[in-house]
Structure 1
């Protein structure tokens, strides 16, 4: 017997430690199959092997698996904002430099930087990292278009855990802690402040293009921004017109935010802020244009009454433009609008409106004609309903 043969023989007689204790390793002479064969079980084994087959797959679970990563993507993005990473990457920088400057863990800093690059938020070349254009414009510096605080606030709004959702589905909103508190004047004012940069980071520019393209735009003398929030829609539209005056209308605490911004943009001579409740209070009169951005969602059962008040406030031939979500496909699309209103919907206050609801109410409450079209925005597809009052 050679040395090699002896080693193999010795090994076959050794016992191997496993999680389940010690056992003698299988060999060709002592296999389970051999023992079963010796006891006449071969036929039954082969029969069992014939009856079980690998399943035939008709679809890929790729899209299902991607859902697992979506939450991780969001958390990485939010963590990077909190850590101030985007503020550091206007110029090429290594992960080691970033870690040293902020006293971060070097290895995990490299991990998070590579992860951000995988999400196409930053780019990596030769071991250095830099913001890609969108991150640079909206997350790098604390200017008029910085959206870091807006994203952090939105994350808190959207971030329902799977346990929260399960509880709400099982027991309903009455037996779950209500997180959708929107009645405080202070909360409304805080949200208005957080919406300032959101509005001027592309939304007001889009609104101004929509309104200025109206054939009646040049003849407008007075407009109302209904539920104005910080008021930048009305301010921007008025700034794009040579002489039109504007009224910015929202809750008293919110109107103070709008009043401050009127001053910042030097529009005090043509724009004023008015505080009130557009469901119960007068809206004013003699308007040629009424603009409402994501406002009618909050009208609830008073939607038709509010639209009637808008119609009555307009001059003959006046125009009402509603810029709002319009869910399609039985309330299942577009995804951004369905998920964006998930929390209030689960808590019993679904603010999402289906496509055609606003347009139908406009026609019912006295408008002569309505034209509806979908417009793509940074936050998803939005429905623009343009109603005209009879001359």
Structure 2
């Protein structure tokens, strides 16, 4: 007789999300890093009831985010690195986007989404012009994207590059290239409200004098020409393959001969169910967009070839759920 335990765990999985969000809001992980390792000490530091803190921390132990021994709590390696606000790799701000009302609301009626074959959040979903969620994305998701930005800057390498960053968001990808290459010129394309965040980050990084903006829709505005590199980070998954190909033709025209398109994406294996993080991203696209998907490398390869690129290479990123595709223009 099989056990229904896994099914009950999935029914109750919302409690994990809610508890992690509460612990971030209460600053539990940072408080533990400071040495407050009992329910009483944590309650005093975080200004909560002792009973509430004990039950919350016990639950965080159960789901693998804390350790407990002899009534004392401690951070796990993952929570110490990624959830302590004083850690340079802290990603706790992503909760503001991933658990925002808009993103959560896309999953209120998954049966309806499946019946329709796309989002129920308006005709364009998250792709609506100047959608306010993208400014929150730019502010909240930057810490999570910083390692990938550094890896892409290494792939791009050294040179006096002219770079177009499509759907630049927080701007970290272009900024990382600019910091590595003192003569690189970055042209960031996004909605005006999002470009404000990218400019703030460019100013903070000391590259604002080489950071230029192009405001508007990536499907409509003029890109300019003679780019060495075009960045397409976390963007193509929002639309169908035909729309991707049309945009990639524009990218191909904007590149100089020998130029490269550098794409960062969640790329599942051909079975479309592995690896889990990349494969599961297709459900987010189903719920949040009219026609987006998590495409396989073979699908991306066909799209880039149809747009005129001579070849594409896949570059896995260590400890990241995403991969990089580098596509070349002859």
Q: How high is the TM-score relative to the length of structure 2?
A: 0.84
CA contact (8 A) 1:292 1:323 kept: yes
- How far apart, CA to CA, are the structure 1 residues paired with 2:223 and 2:20? 42
How far did residue 209 of structure 1 move?
2.9
Q: Deviations over 1:207-226 (max 9, x none)?
A: 223333xxxxx345311112
How far did residue 159 of structure 1 move?
4.1
Alignment of 1:296-375 (within 5 A): 296-300=236-240, 301-346=242-287, 349-355=290-296, 356-375=298-317
- How far apart, CA to CA, are the structure 2 residues paired with 1:299 and 1:163? 22
How far did residue 95 of structure 1 move?
0.4
Q: 2:327 maps to what in 1?
A: 387
How far did residue 308 of structure 1 move?
1.0
CA contact (8 A) 2:153 2:180 kept: yes
CA contact (8 A) 2:190 2:218 kept: yes
2:173 maps to 1:227: no
CA contact (8 A) 1:227 1:292 kept: yes
- How far apart, CA to CA, are the structure 1 residues paired with 2:46 and 2:239? 47
| 1:282 alignment partner, SS class | coil
| 1:104 alignment partner, SS class | coil
Q: Deviations over 1:167-214 (max 9, x none)?
A: 54467779x6659455252332232222222322x23223223333xx
- How far apart, CA to CA, are the structure 1 residues paired with 2:98 and 2:283? 12
How far did residue 134 of structure 1 move?
3.2
- How far apart, CA to CA, are the structure 1 residues paired with 2:307 and 2:11? 46
2:135 maps to 1:189: yes
Q: How high is the TM-score relative to the length of structure 1?
A: 0.72
CA contact (8 A) 1:203 1:377 kept: no
CA contact (8 A) 2:118 2:290 kept: no
Q: Give 1:107's match in structure 2, choosing from 48, 51, 59.
A: 51
CA contact (8 A) 1:359 1:372 kept: no
| Runs of 5+ consecutive residues of structure 1 not aligned to the other structure | 1-56, 213-217
How far did residue 231 of structure 1 move?
0.6
Moved more, 327-336 or 228-237: 327-336
| 1:284 alignment partner, SS class | coil
Q: Deviations over 1:347-369 (max 9, x none)?
A: 66242232122221211222122
2:196 maps to 1:256: yes
- How far apart, CA to CA, are the structure 1 residues paired with 2:187 and 2:98? 28
- How far apart, CA to CA, are the structure 1 residues paired with 2:128 and 2:113? 21
CA contact (8 A) 1:327 1:352 kept: no
Taking a change above 3 Å as real, the CA distance of residues 170 and 188 of structure 1, as seen in their structure-2 partners, is closer
Alignment of 1:104-183 (within 5 A): 104-141=48-85, 145-156=89-100, 159=104, 164-169=109-114, 180-183=125-128
| Runs of 5+ consecutive residues of structure 2 not aligned to the other structure | none
Size of the aligned set, in residue pairs, is: 324
Q: 1:236 maps to what in 2?
A: 176
How far did residue 88 of structure 1 move?
1.2
Taking a change above 3 Å as real, the CA distance of residues 348 and 181 of structure 1, as seen in their structure-2 partners, is closer
Taking a change above 3 Å as real, the CA distance of residues 68 and 97 of structure 1, as seen in their structure-2 partners, is same
